[in-house]
Amino acid sequence: INRGDGTGGGELGNPSAAAGEDTLSETAGSEVSQTFTSFVAEASQIKELISSLTSVEQNARRVCVIIDKYQEQPQLLDPHLESMIQPLVEHLRDGASLTSPQLFSVCSILYIIAKVRGFKTVIKFFPHNVSDLEPCLALLSAQDAADHEKWEIRYILLLWLAILVIIPFSLDTVDSSNKAAAPGQTANDESVGLID
């Protein structure tokens, strides 16, 4: 019973009881968080399949089937998104070293994650450095626009490009072909020289 003067024997007047309640609520919060992350039963399997690029096509199909099951409750994937997307994006960054089937598999998995969770959530995990603009454009321009079988590659590269182009930067910092130009000469000066 609380007497109102802070010295009562009830829980309201007892600061240690209030502290105990805080501890209980923190413990309950962490248990809920741990329970929330455990709803994706296949999380470790997905991460293992993504990390091994030896049998990419089989892994990609299996990952796509697993992630597709979470279409009705995509927020369950949120605690695992970064650990799923980061290895795939690193492979995408090194796209020139990937074979065509590997690039297709990486982009297929990224597409399924974007389809299930939403592209606005997924794009946050894509690299957004100015130095990534040229490799992204090179990969995109190397794709065959007439190839309708591998549209996921173009979709993912365009998503990546969408986040890259909103970064404010000077074109001089991007143009690697300009490195051979004379000091003080910009890419714009070079293009004006071509027109004249």
In DSSP notation, the chain reads ---SSS--SSTTT-HHHHHHHHHHHHHHHHHHHHHHHTT-TTHHHHHHHHH--TTHHHHHHHHHHHHHTTSSSGGGGHHHHHHHHHHHHHHHHTGGGS-HHHHHHHHHHHHHHHHHH-HHHHGGGS---GGGHHHHHHHHHTS-TT--TTHHHHHHHHHHHHHHTTS---GGGT-GGGGGSPTT--HHHHHHHHH-
Amino acid at position 43, single letter:
A
Confidence of residue 188 (pLDDT cuts 50, 70, 90): very low
> Which has the higher per-residue pLDDT, 54 or 179?
179
Most confident of 91-100, 132-141, 185-194: 132-141
Q: Which residue's entry shows tokens 């597409």?
A: 111
pLDDT at 178: 60
Distance from the first to the final alpha carbon of the chain: 92
Residue 84 in this model has a pLDDT that exceeds 60: yes
Distance CA 17, CA 169 (A): 56
- Confidence band (pLDDT; 50, 70, 90) for 191? very low
The mean pLDDT value for 40-68 works out to 75
The span from the CA of 153 to the CA of 114, in Å, is 13
